[in-house]
Chains A and B, each alone.
Chain A
Amino acid sequence: MKVGVVVFPGSNCDRDALHAAELAGAEAELLWHAETDLHGADAVILPGGFAHGDYLRAGAIARFSPIMGAVREHAARGGLVLGICNGFQVLTEAGLLPGALRRNTSLHFEHGWVRLSVERRDTSFTNAVPSGATLRMPIAHGEGCYYLPDAELDRLEAAGQVLFRYAPPEGNPNGSARGIAGIMNEQGNVGGLMPHPERAAEQILGSDDGMFVLRSLVESTARSGVLVG
């Protein structure tokens, strides 16, 4: 079971994601964005950072990196893809996830700890989360305000595509619609979230709650399946 972690010019959470994937029991490999294949990776992580300097819009240029063709094919085959922070932005720009991540309404770069409610625990990204648990993870982003027109938000919620919402006591840090912190596609094999599970991978970092997400991804892939579709 191998996780490929894409490295764009400007990615800066790639090694953390690699380490967390290994902690979750996977073999992991960094994949340079100019590559055109996934080196046999069974699941793909698009990590946090500032791909291509975030010029134009976060994720706008990364979407056209050569490796994104292979990521798109992998997703079309039902393979798992997880976008974290900047990776989430790349997935929305690429049209692999619905919506857009806009400038935080607070006007600030928001960083610190947040708490997440887990909307469902029967997905490839959340199946290892214990019943009733909320997850404590860090955020660090300037453009994390999730946006989708209201009617489409209704459809997103009705289809059960919301994975995580910002929860008290910290609450919604960036003005995201309906407090949404993470979503998945309709097929349930492409997911994204603004908080950083890989930065909450060991107790020494302040929390290891992020491992529930990484373990869900790795274990679902090892069982070679996408849980919901």
Chain B
Amino acid sequence: MGSHRFSVSVMPREGILDPQGRAVEAALPQLDAASVSHVRVGRRVELSVEAADEEGAREVVERLAGELLANPLVEDWSIELLGAETAAASRA
């Protein structure tokens, strides 16, 4: 067993209007940042999962992402492993 730390990035799906991104874009002229465009705003969730291996931990995160962290109708997500701490390593 070991603890696996993941980040889940949730973004509005391509082609779906992102009012938050548009609001951020609206502020850019005040920042002299006219070269910046296509802003999209999502959210990042970090969590730790106790599991025998990375694959098992990732399965749990994948399930949570689809059922809770994101709404698959309007959002996409990607999962990234940030680090793992195995029982052996933590004893060392």
Contacts and interface: CB of A to CB of B under 8 A. Distances in A.
Do A and B pair up? The answer is: yes
Interface of A: 56-57, 60-61, 64, 93, 99-100, 102-107, 147-148, 175
Interface string B22-46: 1100000000000000000001000
A100 B22 contact: no
Contacts of B43: 56
B77 to A, nearest CB: 12
Given A56-B68, A56-B69, A147-B16, A100 B74 contact: yes
Interface string B5-35: 0000000000011011011000000000000
B17 A105 contact: yes
Given A147-B73, A147-B74, A107 B22 contact: yes
Contacts of B16: 102, 147
A146 B23 CA distance: 19
A60 B68 contact: yes
Nearest to A106: B19
B86 interface: no
Contacts of B73: 99-100, 147-148
Interface string B64-80: 00001101011000000
A60 B69 CA distance: 8
Contacts of B68: 56, 60-61, 64
How many B residues are at the interface, by size bracket? 10 to 19
B20 A60 contact: no
A93 B71 contact: yes
A103 B71 CA distance: 13
A57 B19 contact: no
B72 to A, nearest CB: 10
Nearest to B17: A105
Contacts of B17: 102, 105, 175
Given A105-B17, A147-B16, A57 B23 contact: no
A185 B89 CA distance: 53
Contacts of B20: 103
Given A56-B69, A105-B17, 16 more contacts: A56-B43, A56-B68, A60-B68, A64-B68, A93-B71, A99-B73, A100-B74, A102-B17, A102-B19, A103-B19, A103-B20, A104-B19, A105-B19, A107-B19, A147-B16, A147-B73
Contacts of A106: 19
Contacts of B71: 57, 60, 93, 100
20 contacts: A56-B43, A60-B68, A61-B68, A64-B68, A93-B71, A99-B73, A100-B71, A102-B16, A102-B17, A102-B19, A104-B19, A105-B19, A106-B19, A107-B19, A107-B22, A107-B23, A147-B73, A147-B74, A148-B73, A175-B17
Lowest 10 CB-CB distances: which A-B pairs, in order? Answer: A103-B19, A100-B73, A100-B74, A107-B23, A107-B19, A100-B71, A105-B19, A57-B71, A102-B74, A147-B74
